[in-house]
Copies of this chain bind each other. A is one copy, B any other.
């Protein structure tokens, strides 16, 4: 487990908000020099605290206005393996995230579609036909807010 001091936490928080910021700009905001801040970022990357850098897409702007979270309980009968389910789910392009979870559901999926009609198509033809699928529950996303988190 990686130990962080206040400056490390501030750096991670800043980069989580906007990863285009330069080491110099972040350092300036913290009272650190550019090389000092840069070395900290490098260290955090090498230690594995920073897993990677990604762009965030605006699904709405790209014509995918509907995001739905599905909770899926596998049917007890049939002994369909989790691997079969995961393989089949991975072949559905509309599935953005697959979460294996413990609780009332076995899997949670984040699904995006162009509109409700499109989502119905995905649900009926792709989701309901997954191997071993039992109960399915849906929650439609209205709005979403990301927060820095405890680390972080």
Contacts and interface: CB of A to CB of B under 8 A. Distances in A.
Interface in A49-67: 49-59, 61-64
A149 to B, nearest CB: 4
A139 B108 contact: yes
Contacts of A113: 150
A76 interface: no
Contacts of A100: 141-144
A58 to B, nearest CB: 4
Nearest to A20: B53
A103 B137 contact: yes
A74 interface: no
B139 A2 contact: no
* Number of identical monomers bound together in the oligomeric complex: 2
A50 B55 contact: yes
A55 B98 contact: no
Contacts of A19: 19, 52-55
A69 B112 contact: no
Interface in A24-62: 47-59, 61-62
Given A48-B61, A69-B99, A86-B145, 4 more contacts: A16-B55, A90-B145, A98-B147, A99-B143
